[in-house]
Amino acid sequence: MMEIYLDNGATTKPFEEVIDKMCKILKQDYGNPSSLHKKGIDAEKHVTESKDIFSKILKVNSKEIYFTSGGTESNNLAILGVANAYKRSGKHIITTSMEHSSVKNTIINLEDNEYEITVLPVNSEGLINLDELKESIRKDTILVSIMHVNNEIGSVMPIKEIGKLIKEVNKETIFHVDAIQSFGKFNIYPQKWNIDLLSISGHKFHAPKGIGVIYINNNIKISPIIFGGYQQNGIRSGTENIPGIVAITYAAKIMYDNLDDNVQYLYKLKKYLAEKLVDEIPEVFINGMNVNKGAPNILSIRFNNIRGEVLLHSLEEKQIYVSTGSACSSNKPSKSGPLQSIGLTNEEALSTIRFSFSINNTIEELNKCVEEIKKVVPMLRKFVRH
């Protein structure tokens, strides 16, 4: 049976070339970049080269690139790092109701420590109201943390506009963007877009898990959350994960060398599946943004009168892998946060399936997926109605 992986928002399969590079590093360049001898210098070169490549992709200074253990750590460092460094300037933080748990729970933790939090609601497309954002920025607002692409419904926040607006109201307010779902699918320019902190995670674009990046604007202060040997200027202590760093950099390079073609191909897959499901199966609805406006790789669909989880397991039997909400929240039995935020009822949220694509997927796979869904949906609906 052909395995069809349509859960690339949860994680992606590492590129073969990336695995090969990593293996080579593990075998040959195993030195510690802090060592003074040749093995150390060779390892250090990989860090420098990687920072250079990331700085070119983001059009920033290479000294503003730091490697972390992944998206969760980058988000934690951004939020806790700013909260701690700027606590004398203010304790007000703004975020949205759509954020990933690695942002949401970090901010909740700050609320317990006397920070004041404003959570902006979103509309049915998953977008905040910019006037509301403008009104909520105060003199003591030290941080605004807003995601670029939502992991569950694929909504795309107008980050450039948001950055401009924040700095117009209060130029001291720091802007953090969780770009974990958008990096590799969008051009992102922190300097031009007034982004001070940007979180990136390797396993969302064909690098392995456990490696991430954070861009930190040189002009802002940040308190470390990990203390140790003062690697990466003390901002992120700990011996650098050289195989991971080389892997995330190489994967990023592959994504950005072919960005336009990749994005076009992802949209083609997404539109094809959306059209087929909506046209060929009754009572199927797309959540959030119009297919052309949302992220190229995420399609959130509800199948009325069906439990998403039951459909997921039926497809799993055919080796077709999809997701209900996001993988990170699928251990929660209730409806997911973003689906609730865009105004879905409990029933609607529970009937949602997220299909998320990668450039490795094919139209043939989507045809097979639709064929199986068409077989199983009527059976599951009969079962629910009885």
Ligand X SMILES: Cc1ncc(COP(=O)(O)O)c(C=O)c1O
**Known catalytic residues?**
328
d(CA 96, CA 58): 24
151 near ligand X, judged by CB under 6 A: yes
308 near ligand X, judged by CB under 6 A: no
* Tokens describing residue 92: 């007000």
- Residue 103 vs 373, nearer CB to ligand X: 103
288 near ligand X, judged by CB under 6 A: no
- Residue 60 vs 98, nearer CB to ligand X: 98
338 near ligand X, judged by CB under 6 A: no
- Residue 324 vs 326, nearer CB to ligand X: 326
Q: How far is the CB of 79 from ligand X (least distance, A)?
A: 12
For residue 153, with 0-12 CB atoms within 10 Å meaning exposed, 13-18 middle and 19 or more buried, which class applies? buried
Q: Which of 14, 71, 208, 325 is close enough to bind ligand X by CB under 6 A? A: 71
325 near ligand X, judged by CB under 6 A: no
- Residue 295 vs 311, nearer CB to ligand X: 295
Q: How far is the CB of 151 from ligand X (least distance, A)?
A: 3
- Residue 152 vs 196, nearer CB to ligand X: 152
Helix residue ranges per DSSP H, 137-235: 159-169
CA distances from 83 to 87, 113, 119, 171, 317 (A): 6, 10, 16, 17, 46
Burial 5-41 (b: 16+ CB within 10 A, else e): bbbbbbbbebbeebbebbeebeeebebebeeeeeeee
Q: How far is the CB of 96 from ligand X (least distance, A)?
A: 12
Number of residues lying near ligand X (CB under 6 A): 16
Residue whose pair of structure tokens reads 């399969």 in the numeric block:
13
102 near ligand X, judged by CB under 6 A: yes
70 near ligand X, judged by CB under 6 A: yes
100 near ligand X, judged by CB under 6 A: yes
Q: Which of residues 177-196 bind ligand X (CB under 6 A)?
A: 178, 180-181
d(CA 248, CA 76): 19
d(CA 167, CA 87): 19
By Cβ distance, which residue is nearest to ligand X? 71
d(CA 191, CA 255): 21
* Tokens describing residue 135: 């009104």
Residues lying near ligand X in the complex (CB under 6 A):
70-72, 75, 100, 102, 147, 151, 178, 180-181, 201, 203, 212, 326, 328
